[in-house]
Structure 1
């Protein structure tokens, strides 16, 4: 579905052609065209391929989707894939935006995502002095918008980790629920890492050294995007280490709690064992037993059992078993 189509000259809109009029509009104008599509049909992609002479392999990738983040060169043209991440009920939802960048055109193809780029277009149109730099600036603006949307996701993961760390040492905490939350965070972090790490690798090729022609004049801008990705990558690594450490601490606490329960059971078992042994001795029916016919024999037996049990309880209490 076509979202927007506009021809820009000297940073201003001069025409808004349909898909079948893009080539004619570029012939009659001196600027470049910016086209945005969402979940396009095969017919729309084939029409654009004919109008703009797009690379068949790149068009095939844009048609199928499910691509790894990448930037590929086709002569004087670039084809980029970036992941669009949205917060779902339990895990991150992954969409994609495919961007074709040529000397006189930019085409963005969005798949499986509600995140639009109307704000990016508005920002670019409010800065015509930057839009005059052509398709390379539009490519930067799209990439910058995608990367900036990763920051709230990593911030949310870090905030939830901090909350878990604050409650982890509370007594009577449901450890299984904590482990489940940590595992869910780990999955979200892995999804974010799969979007960021490949993009970090390819963005490093857009500044310094051999740079594609469409990006040549905007190396400082792409270096800024690269710095943002480095920050996100560092946050991902730190969050990953925190999750691993939190999981280990949680498992250690589970072991300690189990050990404490075992000690308590063992202490009470020892107390009752001593009482049972004493009761068993005085309960034997022999005729010639000490204190058998003594009037205070029974109270003395009870007192002895109570004293032994109390001494054992005191001892175990001092040891921290009770």
Structure 2
């Protein structure tokens, strides 16, 4: 069932009425109409298109998923495509939900991709500032965009906290774990997806502030400017976090290389220490006469040489930090 509302002279007059009654109010300048559709069929969109005179290209964009966030201007209406982001608590992945919006002089139509976007939260936001309903479509559009951008802000803040946790794990003792590498890659993937959503929002909100579109009344302009400031903060924060994740990945690779070098130095040092006794015992094991051959002094001489050389090499390598 479509969610509908009717404001008359800035006061909520009716809600949840049938879509067939939209035509009774759409020509009344004192009325502001909002209705919401969730995963509508082409037939349902055709009815709305006929009622409001929507452009066929805008209706086609609704039927094709994964539109780029944008603002299209047509003769009789505006078409807005935006995305809400939600982080799945189980997997930590970001799930985008497309929301398409048709904006006319006194009507706002929201078309949701799925039920993941909580439209009732937007309605509660409208009710919390119902004294501003007199500003018509601009009031409804501000509440919708403000809720979506606040959702982006919450997501990027959660990602920031996760990155701080990754940074703490990065400098733990021991080698870099495979889990840290996997989470770093997943974090970068989330940030790339989020950036595709939030970066074009700057153009969308700034486009709505254009005076020639007559969407935002002067009284609503500061509120839309506040949304625009939040969009800029989210976009800049997203770029900063993406750079941080890149730095974490580079630091992780550097630590792995450093850890490998440390292991190689340790192995080489022990190999050098073992090589000296091997050389001495091999020399004394020759089948030719040599000083101390077949005499106790030869055994003690080789033993002392082994101990002195091994301890000397160990101390030398230890002093250089190889062991």
Q: TM-score, normalised by structure 1?
A: 0.93
Post-superposition CA distance 1:95-150 (Å, at most 9, x none)? 10011111121110000351212122223234333111111110111011100001
Tell whether 2:255 aligns with 1:253: yes
2:317 is matched with: 316
Please report how far the alpha carbon of residue 72 of structure 1 lies from its aligned counterpart in structure 2 after TM superposition: 1.2
1:104 and 1:134 in contact (8 A); partners too: yes
> Could you tell me how far 1:37 is from its partner in structure 2?
1.1
Match of 1:285 in 2: 287
Q: Distance in 2 between matches of 1:128 and 1:86?
A: 27
1:145-194 C-alpha deviation (Å, 9 max, x unpaired): 10000111111111111111112121224343322211111111111111
Give the Cα–Cα distance (whole angstroms) in 1 for the partners of residues 176 and 67 of structure 2.
39
* CA-CA distance at 1:299 after TM superposition: 2.9
Which residue of structure 1 lines up, in the alignment, with residue 40 of structure 2?
A: 40
Partner Cα separation in structure 2 for residue 87 and residue 231 of structure 1: 19
Deviation at 1:76, TM superposition (A): 4.4
Answer whether contact 2:53 2:76 (CA < 8 A) is retained: no
Change (3 A) 1:74 1:196: same
Unaligned runs of 5+ in 2: none
Is the contact between residue 25 and residue 31 of structure 2 (CA under 8 Å) also seen in structure 1? no
CA-to-partner distance for each residue in 1:197-233, whole Å, 9 max, x for gaps?
A: 11112212222x5441122432222111110011111
Separation in structure 1 between the aligned mates of residue 223 and residue 312 of structure 2, nearest angstrom: 77
Question: Does 2:300 match 1:302?
Answer: no
* Structure 2 CA distance for aligned equivalents of residues 305 and 185 of structure 1: 54
Per-residue deviation at 1:11?
2.5
Distance, in Å, in 1 between the alignment partners of 2:284 and 2:115 is: 81
How far is the alpha carbon of 1:284 from its aligned partner? 0.6
Counterpart position of 1:24: 24
Compute the TM-score of the two structures, normalised by the length of structure 2. Answer: 0.93
- 1:84 paired residue number: 84
Q: Is the 8 A contact 2:175 2:256 kept in 1?
A: no
| Corresponding residue SS for 1:26 | coil
User: Is 265-274 or 76-85 further displaced after alignment?
Assistant: 76-85
Q: CA deviation at 1:28?
A: 6.9
**Secondary structure of the corresponding residue to residue 135 of structure 2:** coil
Aligned position for 2:121: 119
Hey, what does 2:7 align to over in structure 1?
A: 8
Checking the alignment, whether the CA contact within 8 Å between 2:7 and 2:32 is kept in structure 1 is yes
Corresponding residue for 2:164?
Answer: 162
Residue 140 (1) aligns with residue 142 (2): yes
How far has the Cα of 1:82 moved from its partner?
0.5
What is aligned with 2:184? 182
Distance, in Å, in 2 between the alignment partners of 1:265 and 1:233 is: 48
Residue 195 of structure 1 aligns with which residue? 197
Question: For residues 284 and 210 of structure 1, what CA distance do their matches in structure 2 show?
Answer: 99
Secondary structure of the residue aligned to 1:144 is: helix
Distance in 2 (alpha carbons) for counterparts of 1:63 and 1:153 = 27
CA contact (8 A) 1:19 1:47 kept: no
Identify the residue that residue 227 of structure 2 maps to in structure 1. Answer: 225
Cα drift, residue 308 of structure 1: 1.1
Gap regions ≥5 residues in structure 1: none
Cα contact 1:76–1:213 (8 A) shared by 2: no
CA deviation after TM superposition for structure 1 residue 13, in Å:
2.6
What's the CA shift for 1:79?
0.9
Q: Distance in 2 between matches of 1:37 and 1:58?
A: 15
